[in-house]
């Protein structure tokens, strides 16, 4: 824990106590991740709850994440569902994406693939890379929409270029199917550099039996990194919160 991280966390804590919602969100995330302060999911949950009382869409979304994943409270997707819906209806892309995920799985709600696709498309229209990838998956599989492999591949490319590691993997597989081996290897490598441990294990298992030597070599590299205990950042809503952090640091109001 660096001195600068600790000082930043204390600054956020001060602003959070003064009632600044964005600071409450960021301090909650710091507590959740253990950045600049000791990790404390229960305290993080309490700050997300305080922020959510204002009706802020990002706070509602993060409170939903806590309820869905059991961060600082009991895991209960049925409690998360209406929080995501409120965030989604307010136009938050992460809320739309998370709501669609629950609808796709039928977690905490009735499974509704058509409604899930509607919300994935809403998030995708805002450039949400993970949602773009999943719209591609719906198009590829023909879930709640006619199958359209060409459109699916276009979505995978957009998701990959937008930074989603699953989109990178799907785009790589599409390139591989077209015989574009060098481009496929490039995107598989990029996916391996940013994926979560669970994703990396699946990726390594899939590439281990590949006929292409370069992909088998990549599988060995991924497995070695996993064996060494290298951990990627858990898949959360971090990009949105990093954007808020920039606003907090640069906003003169928060320097008072």
Same domain, 105 and 144: no
Enter the pTM of the model: 0.88
At 254, the pLDDT band (50, 70, 90 cuts) reads very low
Same domain, 101 and 37: no
Average pLDDT across the chain, whole number = 91
State yes or no: pLDDT of 215 exceeds 80: yes
Residue 228: predicted pLDDT: 86
Same domain, 224 and 135: yes
Domain harbouring 87, CATH code: 1.25.40.10
Residue 232: predicted pLDDT: 46
Same domain, 48 and 79: no
State yes or no: pLDDT of 3 exceeds 80: no
Same domain, 89 and 131: no
Same domain, 44 and 60: no
Residue 245: predicted pLDDT: 47
Q: Is residue 250 part of a domain?
A: no
Same domain, 92 and 147: no
State yes or no: pLDDT of 256 exceeds 50: no
At 229, the pLDDT band (50, 70, 90 cuts) reads confident
**Domain boundary residue, one of 111, 126, 141:** 126
Residue 191: predicted pLDDT: 97
Same domain, 199 and 133: yes
Q: Is residue 38 part of a domain?
A: yes
Same domain, 206 and 133: yes
- Torsion 94-109-200-30 (CA) sign: positive
Give the number of domains in the chain.
3
Q: Is residue 238 part of a domain?
A: no
- Beta-sheet strands, E only, within 144-236: none
Q: Is residue 246 part of a domain?
A: no
User: Please, are residues 60 and 87 in contact by the beta-carbon 8 Å criterion?
Assistant: yes
Whole-angstrom distance, CA of residue 87 vs CA of residue 94: 8
**Domain boundary residue, one of 102, 126, 150:** 126
Same domain, 148 and 222: yes
In this prediction, residues 5-16 reach a mean pLDDT of: 94
pLDDT in tens, 133-168: 999 999 999 999 999 999 999 999 999 999 999 999
- Torsion 71-62-192-167 (CA) sign: positive
Closest CA to 163 of 243, 239, 247, 242: 239
Q: Is residue 240 part of a domain?
A: no
Residue 184: predicted pLDDT: 97
State yes or no: pLDDT of 255 exceeds 50: no
Q: Is residue 248 part of a domain?
A: no
Whole-angstrom distance, CA of residue 109 vs CA of residue 106: 5
Q: Is residue 224 part of a domain?
A: yes
Residue carrying the six token digits 């969100």: 25
Same domain, 156 and 215: yes
Whole-angstrom distance, CA of residue 108 vs CA of residue 11: 37
Q: Is residue 115 part of a domain?
A: yes
User: Range of 36's domain?
Assistant: 1-54
pLDDT in tens, 70-117: 999 999 999 999 999 999 999 999 999 999 999 999 999 999 999 999
Residue 90: predicted pLDDT: 98
Same domain, 78 and 44: no
């Amino acid at each position: 824990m660096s001195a600068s991280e600790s000082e930043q966390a204390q600054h956020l804590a001060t602003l959070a106590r003064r009632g600044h919602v964005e600071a409450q969100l960021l301090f909650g995330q710091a507590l959740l991740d253990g950045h600049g302060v000791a990790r404390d999911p229960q305290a993080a949950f309490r700050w997300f709850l305080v922020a959510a009382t204002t009706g802020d869409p990002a706070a509602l979304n993060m409170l939903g994440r806590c309820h869905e994943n059991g961060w600082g409270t009991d895991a209960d997707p049925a409690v998360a569902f209406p929080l995501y819906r409120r965030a989604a209806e307010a136009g938050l892309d992460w809320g739309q994406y998370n709501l669609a995920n629950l609808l796709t799985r039928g977690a905490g709600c009735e499974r509704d693939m058509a409604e899930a696709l509607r919300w994935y498309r809403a998030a995708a229209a805002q450039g949400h890379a993970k949602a773009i990838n999943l719209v591609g998956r719906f198009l590829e599989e023909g879930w709640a929409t006619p199958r359209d492999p060409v459109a699916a591949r276009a979505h995978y490319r957009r998701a990959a270029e937008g930074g989603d590691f699953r989109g990178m993997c799907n785009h790589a597989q599409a390139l591989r199917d077209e015989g574009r081996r060098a481009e496929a290897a490039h995107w598989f490598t990029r996916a391996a550099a940013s994926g979560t441990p669970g994703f990396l294990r699946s990726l390594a298992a899939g590439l281990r039996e590949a006929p292409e030597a370069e992909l088998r070599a990549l599988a060995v590299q991924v497995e070695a990194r996993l064996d060494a205990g290298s951990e990627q950042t858990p898949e959360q809503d971090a990009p949105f919160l990093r954007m808020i952090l920039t606003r907090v640091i640069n906003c003169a109001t928060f320097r008072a």
